[in-house]
Structure 1
Amino acid sequence: MSYTPVAADVAKLRNQTGAGMMDCKKALVEAEGDFEKAVDILRKKGQKVAANRADRESTEGAVIARVNEDNTLGAIISLNCETDFVAKNEAFIELAYELAEMAIFAATKEELLATDFHGITVAEKLVEQTGVIGEKIEIGSFERIQGDFLGAYIHAGNKIAAITSLSAKVDGADEAAKAVSMQVAAMNPIALDENAVSQETIDRELEIERHKLTEEGKPANIIDNILKGKMQRFYKDNTLVHQDFIKDGSISVADYVKSVNGDLKVTGFVRVSL
């Protein structure tokens, strides 16, 4: 006698897996009512879908930043999908938040993927969701940061997020860290300060500016002095602490942080965008 699943079992399976009603019903029929077996059937379907979609681009998604309770560890991940429609789905965003919370305590993306997620690994959950949603779902970017005091900012739409590290936990640090993280999200600095800019980047900028000055006919004996000024401008525009503060262009980011507390400094940042 063939098994016919009752509506309550179908609904229960759908709630647990997120799969469609018909897929859940078929899985229960195939499993002859064995709930755990039906879950495995759906996951296997997800694995097949994931394999079929391995060459698909997952360029949409949600970028989420989270910090731990004492503001000393933080992580940003991008949970990627294929369409903006899925990226705006409430369940998808909730999953991204949950994974970002887990990422705080994972040293690498590989460690995060191997982490337990309600009885399966994160990697297996992503395969499962690929089957449920019908789009390639994967963790794209993974950034982690540690510091004396961290603050996070997620831009509206979940496409950009940043975390900033400050040198101490002081009055006003929470607001300051969020404000500087907003700066990082908006202005996309290449480094914390001039000392953190790679020599490769410096050499490239010098070469470009030297070529332009030579083409303009500037005398060789003054080019080096002009280049010093050009590089100072480059550092001001592109390094976080020297950038004009977006909420008050009359001061730098470093000056803003110092205004919160005379000894406070920005010590690091991470940023992820889609």
Structure 2
Amino acid sequence: MDDPSVESRAVDVFEMRLADIETVDVAQLLALSIAVRWPHRAADWQFMRSQGRGLVALDEIGRVCGSAMWFPYTETFAAVGMVITSPRLQALGTGSWLMTRVIAECGGRALRLNATNAAYRLYSSLGFQRERTLYQCQGKANGAAASSVATEGVRLLAEAELPSVIENDAQAYGVARAKLITALFQRSHGYGLFRSGRLAAFALCRPLGRGHVIGPVVASCDTDAIAVIAPHVAAHSRQFLRLDTHSEGDEFRAFIAGAGLALHDTVTTMSLRPHGAEPPTGGSSTCYAVVSQAFG
């Protein structure tokens, strides 16, 4: 992309400039997310930079005061995330400046993001439309809750099943994310539910933030989703576990709550030009848990 550092703007008493996110040290990005109490680790930032592109807003002495990333899964669709503004600049237009540039850099792609309550008005002003609510569920896992779940046909995923995982994720999410799913597969433990030798559901779990996160989870019904999540709950008993879901199904949400993952917060999934990310017709799989709020 064009060098963003040639663009600058006066923000309050600061002269800010934009730069590629790859040009700053990860410690600066970590300090930014800590400032807004987001639980990302340095390794989380590094992984996101390996999967997407981004901009940072720098002040006159090179401090990172804002960030925004996008993940161009296809030529027609991208997810947007890690839009952060330093608390001292949140009311001064830095977020709008970053997002306007991101939209331009995405070149007409359909965009999807998860908006915090604080950022909802900003995204609305830029033309994003509300889709649905994303429920952030987290807490100390109750391994005993998994003991009564029927897990016949569930087993650890092997490398040979990666193509089926990519295919099932694409059907559920609406666009293919082969690069991301391949990278996640390599850093996650995964369980799959198999019927007649075919992958019917899966759930990946990896280190993130304060502990581990389960996602993505793809299944065609609550029962199948629970079956592939249960082994992860059992494996992380008494440890911090997180799962972000759009599901409002009684059975699934009841299991999550019983497993110790209480509702912590909600955000709003929004889209710009959403027609570019419609799920394929005839598909029955659903994303029961997203990869993360940034990746979607």
- Give TM-score, length-normalised by structure 1: 0.30
Larger radius of gyration: 1
- Which structure's residues are more often helix, by fraction? 1
TM-score, with length taken from structure 2: 0.28
Kindly indicate whether structure 1 or structure 2 has the higher relative contact order, using CA contacts under 8 Å at least 6 residues apart.
2
Structure in which a larger fraction of residues adopt strand: 2
